[in-house]
Amino acid sequence: MAPMTDDIRVAAQPDMTLVGVVDLATDWHTRTAALHGIPIFAATAEAAAPMRDAGIPVEGTLDDLLGQVDAVVDATPKKIGAANLDRYRTAGVKAVLQGGETHETAGHSFVAQANYATALGRDATRVVSCRATPPPPCGCSARWPTPACSAPPAGC
């Protein structure tokens, strides 16, 4: 499968380049990404062979990708992102984790309209999910913004 473009830009973000997607599945999700020219990396060395056997062009492993990026958006199932966070930090790569991870995992929970400024300069944050994630333990019990809690207390 040949890439459709040499330089994949993240939609609506002309200042970002999608370097690759990491997976271990051989399903239609991974195949579709490959068909769109997105480089595919195996989550583990063991996952690479079955992916290649299924016809998915594997560029390398997660560790190979970490050597090429400044940041990772980790959308893995809960607890896997937490397990990967040390790898990201060791590689010097900033990480955005999905809302299934705990607030304590990254030490910060991001809600754009409430605490954008507190996310700047961090090595990791998690994006609060609007459906499944309770707000972080920062003093507000309601989802932000509400009349009672327009923004989390400083440091959240």
Q: Is the same domain home to 45 and 113?
A: no
Over residues 51-73, the mean pLDDT reads 96
- Average pLDDT, whole number, for the chain? 83
CATH number for the domain harbouring residue 96 = 3.40.50.720
Over residues 17-37, the mean pLDDT reads 92
Look at strands 13-17 and 21-23 and give their pairing: unpaired
Q: Is the same domain home to 60 and 79?
A: no
Instruction: Tell me the residue range of the domain where 28 lies.
Output: 1-69
Q: How many domains does the chain have?
A: 2
Burial class (CB in 10 A: 0-12, 13-18, 19+), 61: middle
Cβ contact 82:107 at 8 Å:
no
As a whole number of angstroms, the distance between CA 1 and CA 30 comes to 12
| pLDDT at residue 1 in the model | 40
Catalytic residue status for 140 = no
Q: Is the same domain home to 127 and 139?
A: yes
Domain boundary among the residues 17, 51, 69 is at 69
Q: Is the same domain home to 102 and 121?
A: yes
Quick one: what percent of the chain has pLDDT higher than 70? 75
Q: Which of 130, 138, 149, 156 is catalytic?
A: 130
Label residue 148 by pLDDT band (50, 70, 90). Answer: very low
DSSP string, 68-113: T-SEEEE-PSTTHHHHHHHHHHHTT-EEEE-TTS-HHHHT-EE-HH
